[in-house]
Every structure is written in C-alpha cells, then in structure tokens.
Amino acid sequence: MSLSVRVRTAVAVVVAGVLLVPAPPATAAPPAEGPPTAGSAATEPARSTLVSPCQLPTPVTGWQHEGPTNYATWLPPSGTVRGIVLFVDFTDAAPVSGERAGRTTMFGAAPNFFTQSSYGALNLQLTFDTAWRHIPQPHTAFAGYNTSFSAQRSYLAAAVAAANSAIDFSLYQIVYVVPPKSAGTFTNSPAWVAAPGGGVTADGVELRHAVTFGQDVDYWGYKILNHETGHLFGLPDLYSYNNSDSIHRAVGGWDVMGLISGASPDLFAWHKWKAGWLADSQIDCRTTTGSAPATLTPLGTTGGTKAVVVHTGGNTAVVVENRQVSTLDVASGCFQAGVLVYRVTTSVFSGGASPGGNVPPIGGPFPVEVVDRTPGSDVASCSTAEKALVNATLTAIGHTVTYGGVTVELTATPGNDRTVSVTVV
C-alpha cells in the first residue's frame, strides 16, 4: 500500500506514497506502512468552490484530504490521461531476460480499474517503452528517493534524460519509472506531485506527476499503479501512518486507497464524487434532522442514487452506499455484499496526519472510518489487514448501525438495489 505525503514549502510540492520497507514474498504479511519522515505542511492555493452543502471544506493547510481537490496542483481524473512507463537500469543493476515484458503485462491490467470505477469518465492510456534506458549512475545514488522531494525529483529527471532521445514527453501527463528488480535501493513505490514550477522539463512541457516504482510491486501487483495514481488525483491514504497502530483499522479492504490487496478495492462513493465521476444528483444530501428512505443502486453499476451523505458537522459527514460484487471485486467470504456506512472528515489528512505533525495518534482519527455493524467479530479466514471490517455491512433486513446521531437501517432488498431508512437526530 503505500504512501505517505510530504510537502516542501519552498516550492509547495507534495511527495505522496511511501512504503518504508521492501516487499516480502507473497506468502508473508503485507509490507508495513509508515509515516512521512520529512517536510512540513504548506498552504494550498485556492481550491474548488463547494457546490453541495454535503461537501466538506478543506482546512487552510493540507496535503491529500477528503475535501474538494485543487486541480491547479493535482491531476484532473477525467477524459483521457496519458502515462508513459519507462524502464531504467543502472551501472550496478541490470534487468534479467523477460523482466520488462513481465512488468508490461502486469501493469497493463491497471487502466481497466479506472475505466470501471469511473463509469467510463477516466481513460488512463499507458504507453510502455520498448527498451531499458540506461542511467549512468549506480542505483544507490538515488537513496532517499522515498523520503525527499528533491531526491525523488533527481531520480525522475535522470530517468527522463535517459529516455528523452526516444520519447516525446509532450504527449504525456504522467511518468511511471520502473527499475530492474536487482536495484535494491528502490524498495517501495512513492507517487510524486510538484506544484507548477517545481517539475521536470522535457520536450517543452513541465512533468509534475509521476510514480517511481520499487520492489513492492511484486507483492501488490498492478493495483499499486491504481493506488499511486490515485494520489496524483489528490486521493489520500486511508491507512494509518503510525506503525504502532493497527494499520488498516479504519477502512480495511473497502477502498484501494486503503488496503491495495483487499477483496473489495473499488473506490468509495465519496471518492468517486470527489473525483467528479458521480454527479451531485446521484448523492442524496441530508443536512437536517428527521427520517427518510433512500434506494441505492450498486456502487459498481452506472446510474441511480449512489450514496446518502449526512452532513454531521463543520468538517464531518456520514456516508451510506450499496456495495455489491462488481467487476473490480473478489467474490469471496472476505467481501460481504451489503450497505456500507462510513464517516468522512477533513480534520486530518492522508494517513491520519495533522497540520504540524506527520505521525498521527494511535487510533486516529483517519480521513475515512468504516462503521462496523459487528465490532469485535473478525472473519478469521480473511487477511489480518481486512478481517475486522469484512462483516461491517448491513446484509439483512433490519440490520442497523448508528454513528454520530445518524442511524441507518436496511429495510428492503429489491434485486441488487438496497433501500435504507436514514434517521438523523
């Protein structure tokens, strides 16, 4: 999973996505995440105007968060977005036969995730370079690429320079850099975002959005590209940056910005709304007390009402959505289809970090927290990271959960739609 967020005030840039340990073999536990280790919060420029009363305002300072996205810095997730995948080697690290072809095949599955999740609103087009481009330095020269904006920028610049004679970078909005497996310096896969003026220039354009992949791709597979690219679009990490915490306690495997390998990785309705893939008309916004029903169509299908959003305070909301098995999910006992309820806040940023401090307190708060219908009832057959929240959903008529003065009851199950009663006190 990745990522931490790092902001350097001098040029108002953000480095997102840091896994601080190399990936273990697939039979071991997932790589551990950690907090950012450098940088300080910076004030963002003006952001999108709130359109719906159920959108949440963004704090004055912030990294990646659950408020409206400032697309002067982040990459708009709509239309055709083109990415170039570069393969680079070093004086002390060469690829083995078939390595580039294997990576190309693996990452080739990533664009369909966004096509499905965005209901066709986003078309990520990946172009894979056809050769390894040589960086005339040892890979160890780029140590610190995952803890420093400038070090990661240097690595990106070296990769672009190595490929510039063969690639027209003016055609692309995203640069993905893939080293050989033998380049042990690159343990994890941070995303990189620069504010205007802080990027790398090539072919007359400024490249401000990139991902530098590491050895953890062998654990996470192609969806690490979706997770890291989500950061380029302004989506925050949903796991804890405090390694003393239960890392995935907040959302388990219910969103790819949390546990990448989760059984139900489609993005939350809130994230789809934030990205502009859901219209305001598909959000049932509640701002007053009282009780009213709503019928929710499955999140993974087009059309219909996708979420009830209850604005519960200045920067908090409760969201209700209908999670049925879609083309992005794994049909298994580790995905219990039903009505999912969660709390969203803009009081903290990616990974639970807050202004002035990167390491959040144990237990949160986090940007999103799933409301568990059966707290303390783990599904033992599922992974440690997701087992606590697998059965959080309302799956039978009469099931209810209450959070922050909002009670949600499942009242009918017409086909794959779900009808709920939402009461606000």
**Which pLDDT score, from 0 to 100, does residue 31 have?**
53
| Same domain assignment for residues 276 and 333 | yes
Q: Taking 80 as the threshold, does the pLDDT of residue 176 lie above it?
A: yes
| Same domain assignment for residues 35 and 159 | yes
| Same domain assignment for residues 47 and 175 | yes
Q: DSSP E strands: which ranges in 29-120?
A: 79-90
Q: Is residue 226 part of a domain?
A: yes
**Which pLDDT score, from 0 to 100, does residue 37 have?**
31
**Which pLDDT score, from 0 to 100, does residue 10 have?**
22
* Coil vs helix vs strand at 228: helix
| Same domain assignment for residues 151 and 196 | yes
Q: Which two tokens stand for residue 362?
A: 């144990």
| Same domain assignment for residues 279 and 219 | no
Indicate the pLDDT class of residue 33, thresholds 50, 70 and 90. Answer: very low
| Same domain assignment for residues 372 and 273 | yes
| Same domain assignment for residues 286 and 217 | no
> What is the distance between the alpha carbons of residues 263 and 344, in angstroms, rounded to a whole number?
21
**Which pLDDT score, from 0 to 100, does residue 244 have?**
87
| Same domain assignment for residues 205 and 343 | no
**Which pLDDT score, from 0 to 100, does residue 58 have?**
82
Tens digit of each residue's pLDDT (9 = 90 or more) over 58-76: 876 668 999 999 999 999 9
| Same domain assignment for residues 274 and 166 | no
C-alpha to C-alpha distances, 387 to 244, 317, 349, 378, 384, nearest whole angstrom: 18, 25, 25, 5, 6
Q: Is residue 246 part of a domain?
A: no
In the predicted model, what is the mean pLDDT of the chain? 89
* Coil vs helix vs strand at 289: coil
The pTM score is: 0.91
**Which pLDDT score, from 0 to 100, does residue 235 have?**
97
Tens digit of each residue's pLDDT (9 = 90 or more) over 280-314: 999 999 999 999 999 999 999 999 999 999 999 98
How many domains does the chain divide into? 2
The residue with greater pLDDT, 331 or 97, is 97
**What value does the mean pLDDT take over residues 220-240?**
97
* Long-range pairs of 278-283 with CB within 8 A, sequence gap ≥ 24: 278/306, 278/307, 280/51, 280/52, 282/306, 282/307, 283/52, 283/54, 283/307, 283/308, 283/309
370 sits in which H/E element: strand 368-370
Q: Taking 70 as the threshold, does the pLDDT of residue 354 lie above it?
A: yes
Is residue 332 within 8 A of residue 338, CB to CB? The reply is no
| Same domain assignment for residues 154 and 302 | no
Number of H helices, E strands in the chain: 6, 18
Tens digit of each residue's pLDDT (9 = 90 or more) over 371-414: 999 999 999 999 999 999 999 999 999 999 999 999 999 999 99
Residue 174: give the domain boundaries: 5-232
Q: Taking 60 as the threshold, does the pLDDT of residue 268 lie above it?
A: yes
Is residue 44 within 8 A of residue 389, CB to CB? The reply is no
**What value does the mean pLDDT take over residues 229-251?**
95
**Residues recorded for the chain:** 425
- Calculated CA dihedral for residues 149, 154, 155, 160, nearest 10 degrees: 120
Q: DSSP E strands: which ranges in 282-365?
A: 283-286, 290-296, 307-311, 316-323, 338-345
> What is the distance between the alpha carbons of residues 242 and 33, in angstroms, rounded to a whole number?
8
| Same domain assignment for residues 178 and 288 | no
Indicate the pLDDT class of residue 1, thresholds 50, 70 and 90. Answer: very low
